[in-house]
Structure 1
């Protein structure tokens, strides 16, 4: 059995269901305004035919901006898994972050086309609730990936990273890897965002502190980008030059923070942790820029959604609508610590998503 096959087999064992109350969430990553709505099969041909049974099945995929490697991987994996079953695919993409209007129109078109299922990454946790209820009332299976809806049972099933667990992993690693006199900086994203708050809270829990701890030197909000990570870190270092541990909401933020730290001549004195698992971020682990990152698996989210659709088409089985199925998280570091399970950057580069 190949290494990749072993990983896929073993990694599915860590998928678990995580009960959650209503959760607001938008996806994190490098944002970019890109192309909008279209339908088609993987070959690029237009298809708006109604889904049927057996070999005449059409499903809808409603994604966020596909130029972001995370959402590109998620969309491609979902489409490939669907086409492997002989299904047709209708696709749509939000034009910019938060573009729920485009997603609503796309879902209305999919309802009219009588698709059998809709796999959606919502641009907003509540804006699609009405149109998704219309879809479910028509007997269309609705599956949410990456960004849970509020309430979570707006969808028939949800597949996402447990961001609290991801944050806890890097918090535990950071505590074990910190200098004896830790001074922590928190580089966040909008904390009303579900993944952002989950990662933030998880890090603090894993480190064993709260935001009121004297170990926390300062915090700043970023937009999850390299530039805002760098500027936020520059400002924090100006106010708190003794910072030596940095939590970052994602890997682009971490890369920007490192640039600010390096420019101050502190590159070998500061520990940086993050979340994502993009190939560029894992490379930053290998290069010593990020100490540890928590890898998530967008491709697995898409595969799980297609598997759930297949089960539904076969016998009407639906996943639990009031739970989030965790698609898994793995800590990536080349400096492992006792008591915290991890994999190396070499392993991570075999499993990462996005451009290498």
Structure 2
């Protein structure tokens, strides 16, 4: 997904409950680095380096960024890399050279490749907010991996373990004995997806499930439909299917007449509807518009000389249910975006 594309990096082998507890503690340190001081009444400029303009998840974060900027004497621009890592690197390097932004908010397509341009931005006095996906080589933490950055993160390991927890709960509703769970990967060999997949698969196995994870579901209904067709041919006895919410929108119709529990990654309007009507068991629901709002809030505050937290774990800070969306926990809530 990147929710969409939360968007979606990791491997864990510890017990399910301990994994969530260990990875979910928000940090209390203060973001380092001192940006160039600005007058309190100066209008600031935010550059939002989102996954892709066509991605509904990125659009949800963008809506939050835009709304906060408009109300707090700032302007915001969406720089579209269209899911391409090298393009995003070049865009940030150009922004550093031109010094056109006071604050940059980064949804990294390649968290390792973005380390150096982010270091360059910080050295140039630009405030950097790392949003949703970690920047650096570690995918199990929200702690800053580049000194001086502000991080509001959903660690991919936490995401994977959360999906596994929902999947194991779904098993209890559809399987009377052994439970076979299919985990549909997002992008093949994509660091974030690899990390999240490893975390989910290990947690599912620790919970006693038999796991099938060699199918790529992607982030569209078409790729999800194709994966589901192949899955049902190879494993017609599957009990639970986990994948991006977009992929499951294509996969779900193929399960007609079968008792299969679905768990989506991404809380779109469509995903909420499937959970609320009982078609899916649950979704991993990151409040992405709220996360975008928080990213803009923290970035502008630091640019104006205030102390802000160095790291925030989205699901423990912005929700009361740690992003584990079921019919019960989503009651009365509205999705942040639509696929």
With normalisation by structure 2, the TM-score equals: 0.75
Q: 2:48, 2:78 within 8 Å by CA — same for their partners in 1?
A: yes
- The answer to whether residue 234 in structure 2 is matched with residue 239 in structure 1 is yes
Q: For 1:208-245, what per-residue CA distance to the aligned partner results, in whole angstroms no more than 9, with x for missing partners?
A: 538xx772356312222211212112112112221122
Match of 2:245 among 247, 251, 265: 251
Find 1:88's aligned residue among 75, 79, 95. Answer: 75
* 5+ residue gaps, structure 2: 1-23, 29-35, 138-143, 317-321
**2:275–2:281 contact (8 Å) kept in structure 1:** yes
Is 1:296 aligned to residue 248 of structure 2?
no
SS, match of residue 40 in structure 2: coil
Distance 2:39 2:161 in 1: 39
Query: Is the 1:171–1:205 Cα contact (8 Å) retained in structure 2?
Result: no
Contact 1:63 1:122 in 2 (8 A): yes
- 1:325 matched to which residue of 2? 313
Task: Output the TM-score relative to the length of structure 1.
Answer: 0.72
Counterpart of 2:115 (choices 118, 123, 129) is: 129
C-alpha distance 54-114 of structure 1, shift in aligned 2 (>3 A)? farther
Asked if the contact 2:302–2:308 (Cα under 8 Å) also holds between the matched residues in 1, the reply is: yes
Structure scoring higher RCO (CA < 8 A, sep ≥ 6) equals: 2
Q: Does 1:104 align with 2:90?
A: yes
Partners of 2:183 and 2:241 within 8 A in 1: yes
Does the 8 Å CA contact 1:172/1:206 hold for their aligned counterparts? no
After superposition, the Cα gap between the structure-2 partners of 1:183 and 1:313, relative to the gap in structure 1 and judged at 3 Å, is closer
- SS of corresponding position for 2:271: helix
Q: 1:319 to 1:191 in 2, by over 3 A?
A: farther
How many aligned residue pairs are there? 292
**1:277-296 superposed matches below 5 A:** 277-296=267-286
Does residue 1:200 correspond to 2:188, yes or no?
no
Q: Is 2:168–2:209's contact at 8 Å kept on the other side of the alignment?
A: no
Which of 293-302 and 201-210 deviates more? 201-210
Larger radius of gyration: 1
Distance 1:199 1:166, change over 3 A: farther
In structure 2, distance between residues paired with 1:90 and 1:113 = 14
1:315 to partner: Cα distance: 3.1
SS at match of 2:145: helix
